Structure 1
């Protein structure tokens, strides 16, 4: 008989006071509520932590700024408090109502790491019809490029590269420790989600992306950088804007 799954959902947050309540509401409305929610305040200066606490959600602090650092702190805190399975989304994202349920199903199917689909949010900015089509298409192109990218190819890898956005990823606690976890870096230094995927590929092939694990992501970076700038940003930070933390 399999041991019960103790699932924690980790949300790193930096200066997200304007919108984090919407993300927490999406998590509160999951049709599978059997998880522990933890927000990692990454040194916010706008009252993010206070808003989260007022909503009755647990908060810890990671003063070292960086999505990798904050995510790793949250994951390791969860493991130290009994988590057997971990999921992460971001404070500007909206997991679909069945997100947790479908993650749990994927783990039940034997996967040790689960990625999901990233779709554009439509509640932040008006999206034209062509944008609603284009954004998922761009994500797919990026996923395809990732499979042939030299940095993602190594004979030591046990399976193919699979793009897993950090805002829509889940992993067993055991694998997280075995793989070394998220690098404790800032967003402008390393794409921590890609680094974790490649670390996992060195120790197991039990990972996959699931189409039913869906998160709606913010388009604010696209609005700030434009399409070409956004693509260059995600392609090894070839575009370096003056302002990295878009709010």
Structure 2
């Protein structure tokens, strides 16, 4: 089974080195990395190409000019499938997958044959304990809201109960990705919309606590606590036109 790791990126020259180093430190490095650049004008693509010269796995780069993380991810997933991927994992350019991330993703996909949702924590290099605690509270709030939201109840045709799904820490089989029609091609947030497509298709949705990604907390600084809560409750970014990613 062929694993590809997808990383969407936009204007991430200053940060993408972190995720590249984290992927190079994976226990399971039997994968191809595909960075989907969403039309960056900084040195993001150059940084990835420089890393590729000595990377411990194949690295590919594509540019998706249609703005929106959903468009970048969908184009990248379809490109990977067309080039032989049967297993797909995704994280983001401002995240740090922990060393057993790809191994856990692969194991989860082989066991379930569906969608694997990992666990997100806050990056330890961006905030102190208080900031990390705020991040975890916001994530828990988003998960709770998702579970109680009437539109997510199984009576609406969903085959599986709602479970928190972070787009920056997920894995899916190529077969299931194509069956649900792919990632919604729109700006972030896309996570709940994609999860609900999967929930209408299958019950093969599992959560692995050993599939861990350290998530950036920069949205808290950019949006503030209330703005970030609005974001995780899928109420958008308010008057802000551009996602901080």
TM over 0.5: yes
1:140 aligns to what? 140
Runs (4+) of structure 1 exceeding 3 A deviation are none
Change in 2 beyond 3 A, CA 1:186/1:99:
same
How far the C-alpha of 1:243 sits from its partner, in A, is 5.2
RMSD across aligned positions (CA): 1.4
Q: Any residues of structure 2 matched to 1:81-120 within 5 Å, and which?
A: 81-120=83-122
Cα distance in 2 for residues equivalent to 1:32 and 1:220: 29
User: Which deviations, in whole Å up to 9, do the C-alpha atoms of 1:153-172 show, x marking residues without a partner?
Assistant: 24211010111110000000
State how far apart, in whole Å, the 2-side matches of 1:223 and 1:162 are: 27
| Greater Cα offset, 77-86 or 103-112 | 103-112
Q: CA deviation at 1:122?
A: 1.7
Please state how far the C-alpha of 1:119 moved relative to its aligned partner. 0.5
State the shift of 1:131 in Å: 2.8
2:81 corresponding residue in structure 1 = 79
1:185 aligns with 2:175: no
Gaps of 5+ in 2: 53-58
Give the alignment partner of residue 72 of structure 2, picking from 64, 70, 73. Answer: 70
How far apart, in 1, do the equivalents of 2:113 and 2:94 lie? 27
Provide the residue aligned with 2:6 in structure 1. Answer: 10
| Contact kept in structure 2, 1:111 and 1:208, CA below 8 Å | no
Picking from 61, 80, 84, the partner of 2:63 is 61
- Number of positions where the alignment pairs a residue of Structure 1 with one of Structure 2: 238
Are 1:50 and 2:62 matched, yes or no? Answer: no
Check whether the contact 2:90–2:167 (CA below 8 A) recurs between aligned residues: yes
TM-score by length of 1: 0.92
**2:32 matched to which residue of 1?**
36
Partner of 2:55: none
> Deviation of residue 224 (structure 1)?
1.3
8 Å contact from structure 1 (residues 95, 214) kept in 2: yes
Residue aligning to 2:235? 237
1:214 & 1:161 partners in 2: Cα distance? 20
Looking at structure 1, the residues matched to 18 and 170 of structure 2 have their Cα atoms a distance apart, in angstroms, of 19
Q: CA separation in 2, counterparts of 1:207 and 1:137?
A: 24
- C-alpha change, 1:239 and 1:90, in structure 2 (3 Å) is closer
Q: What is the CA deviation profile of residues 53-72 of structure 1, one whole-angstrom value per residue up to 9, with x for unaligned ones?
A: 11113100100011000000
Output the TM-score relative to the length of structure 2: 0.92
The equivalent residue for 1:174 is 175
Rounded Cα–Cα distance in structure 2 between residues aligned with 1:237 and 1:133: 22
CA distance in 2: counterparts of 1:166 and 1:180, whole angstroms: 16
Matched, 1:210 2:187: no
Corresponding residue of 1:131: 131
